[in-house]
Every structure is written in structure tokens, then in C-alpha cells.
Amino acid sequence: MARSQELELLEAVVLGLSRDRDAVIQGLRSLAADVDADRAAKLVVSLLRATWGDCSTVGRGCQQLPAPTIQRVIGLLEGERSARAVFLREVVDPAASEADLRAAWRMALQGLMVVEAFKGRVTKAVKEKLLGVASRPVLLQAIQTTTVACEDVPSGMLAVLTVDASDASLDALIPHFECAMETQCDALDSLVALRVLSRASPTLDDLFARANVLLRARRARSPALAFARELGFGERKVFWFELRVQSRETMTRESGSCRLRCHVAVDSRAADWFQCYLTYDDWRHFLCRFDATPRREDFCADSLGSGLLDPLELPDWLARAVERFGTSWEFGGMELTTSVRDGGWDRLARWVGGGGLS
């Protein structure tokens, strides 16, 4: 296959004709040294700009990119304020020699994969990877610069700053603590969870202590606890449930035969205590999306025109949504988990399915 045809095929895959990540990674790895640098760079940047998923597709597929393509990528990211863009620009000097340029690019992608893969669960292996990133001065300085320049950064970057705990790292970390404590958003949960990574430090000890007090107070007054009382579960210190259900096959003009899927999460421990997503096929095509405390305008979407969703009206809303497509929910195969024992699952399942609270 000609080089241009290979690139066209890869572009089609990346633009959404396929979500086969392995195919994308293999295609990226096969880019030849004489590939059209401009087109290849635009392809890589489109993946870096994607809001879904982490950077592992680029990280696994692009470590051996030709130097001209790397230079074009850094040029296209010039001026962008996303954490990925700032970090890559800090690590990779496009004016460096070919060998140094490609080495810095590989190092940057490897570091980026570590911090974006961090999801809050700390194991010995995870801590070692974070310490490995912190031990590389170029990566550590890039993370410090990125966390100062950007409000929204991967929690793994904050984890690296925590394990390092140098003055420069604390200077970069503290504003994120202060912001999370002021807004009491979900970032507060993530930051408090980093305590297991911290070294002995009066500054960190004080930050974690204050953040933990605020976190406990926020959880104690969560609307999810009032919601639990409305559902008949009485007074609870913690209340959560998560529901995933799909419909029988339906027909839509846009995509032919598909299934509707709904994901509902209620959690008194989270700032976003209520979330509901209605999608079709692969969980990426949103029909409706509701968030109790939306952080961005696009966090609430309602292409069905169904109106704002009151959590107590969830069963009726689910029934109306699925009726519009002439199908029904497969409640018999739903996935439902909850913190409530002693009949809690049965009560929730009956309520969600439209059987009321009696």
C-alpha cells in the first residue's frame, strides 16, 4: 500500500470511522520516516486533543515518530493551554538535534502515560512509577511548570509533586489544594487520597488535615443522604448506588440498529453526587447527560428535549426516554450495586423499574 494510502486509512480510523485502538496504535507505529510530516502531526495532535480516554494511544503508538513529525507536533501545540500541550512543550525542544529530540519525545510520552494512568489507587508498583518520574529532573520541572500554568491537570501530576515534596513542588501543589478546598469539588477527594504518598512535611501535613476536615463536612451534608431518606432508607452516614442498564435493540435514523444504554451513579461521598448518562452503542454518543454540579457547559446535554432530571423522578424519566425509541429496558439484565444491605438491592431495583417505593 502506498504511503499516502496508509495515512489516509489511519486518518479515517482516528476521525471516528473505527474505535479500534489497537488498529490506531499499529498504524501510528508503522508511519515511515518519509511520511508527510504535516499530515501525520495533525493526526497525532487530534489524538492529543481528544477529551475521551488517556494518552496511551499516542504514548504506545508514537514513541518512534520521525523527527520532522515531532517538530510539527510541538509547533501545532504552541499556544495551547491544556496540560498535555504545556507538558510536552516543556520537555521537548524542537530545535534540539534529531537524537536528542526523539529521546526527549519518548521520555515525555512515557512520563505522560504514567501520570495519566494514575487513578488514585496506590500500590507499590504505582508508587515506584511515580517516584521514577519525580527522579527525572526534566520531567519533574515540566510537571511543576504545567501545574502552575493549568487549573486542570491529571491527578498523577499532583501525585508526583506529593512524592517529591520539594519546595518547588509544594509551591506548584498548594494552589490546587486551596482551589479544591474553596470549591469542595471532586478534586478534594483526589487530593486527600494522595496522603499515602506524602513524605513527612509540616506543610503537607497541614494541607491534608485541613482538606480532610472539609471533605468529611461536605460528605455529611451531601444531598444524596436526603435522597436516601426519600427512598425510605432512613438516616445513613454513606449512601451510594450505581446502575447500568441497556435497552432491547432499537432503530434510529442516524445509526441503524443499536441499543440505548443508561448509567446512573448516586454517591454521598462525591461532590457530583448524582450523574445520569443516556447513550447509544459505545457510551460515547451522548443523548442526555446530567451532572449534579456541572463543571462545564457540555456536562449537561439533552438532545431528547426531556428537560432537567429530578433524581426522584428517575423511573418515570427512564420510561419516557426509552418509549421515544419504541423499545424497552432490559431490567432483568441490569447491573446494580449499592451500599445498602438488607433488601436495599431489591428495593432499588423495584423502584428503578417503575414499581414504586412501597
% of the chain with per-residue pLDDT over 90 = 47
The mean pLDDT of 141-158, rounded to a whole number, is 95
What letter would DSSP give residue 138?
Answer: H
The one-letter amino acid at 257: S
- Burial (CB count within 10 angstroms: exposed 0-12, middle 13-18, buried 19+), residue 15: exposed
> pLDDT at residue 293 above 60?
no
Whether residue 329 contacts residue 318, with contact meaning beta carbons closer than 8 Å, is answered with: yes
Q: Which residue has the higher pLDDT, 62 or 284?
A: 62
Q: How far apart are CA 240 and CA 242, in angstroms?
A: 7
Confidence class of residue 320 from pLDDT cuts 50, 70 and 90? Answer: confident
User: What own/partner pairs with CB < 8 Å and gap ≥ 24 does 272-281 have?
Assistant: 272/185, 272/186, 273/222, 273/223, 273/224, 273/227, 274/223, 274/224, 274/227, 274/311, 276/309, 276/314, 278/304, 278/321, 280/252, 280/255, 281/255
- Residues 65-86 as b/e (b if ≥16 CB within 10 A, e otherwise) read bbbbbbbbbbebbeeeebbbbb
Residues comprising the chain, all counted:
358
Residue 18's pLDDT is 46
Residue 297's pLDDT is 43
Residue 148's pLDDT is 96
22-31, 247-256, 306-315, 342-351: least confident range:
247-256
Closest listed residue to residue 342, CA positions, set 243, 264, 232:
232
> pLDDT at residue 290 above 80?
no
**92, 96, 113, 246, 330 from 327: Cα distances, Å:** 52, 59, 41, 10, 10
> pLDDT at residue 283 above 80?
no
| Alpha-helix residue ranges (DSSP H) falling in 123-275 | 124-134, 137-149, 155-164, 167-183, 186-192, 202-220, 223-230
Residue 11's pLDDT is 59
Confidence class of residue 302 from pLDDT cuts 50, 70 and 90? Answer: low
Whether residue 106 contacts residue 70, with contact meaning beta carbons closer than 8 Å, is answered with: no
Residue 260's pLDDT is 85
Q: Please calculate the CA angle 69-74-78 and round it to the nearest 5 degrees.
A: 145
Domain ranges in the chain are: 3-218, 224-352
Q: How far apart are CA 165 and CA 134, in angstroms?
A: 10
**88, 140, 269 from 111: Cα distances, Å:** 10, 9, 31
The mean pLDDT of 235-243, rounded to a whole number, is 94
What letter would DSSP give residue 13?
Answer: I
State pTM to two decimals.
0.74
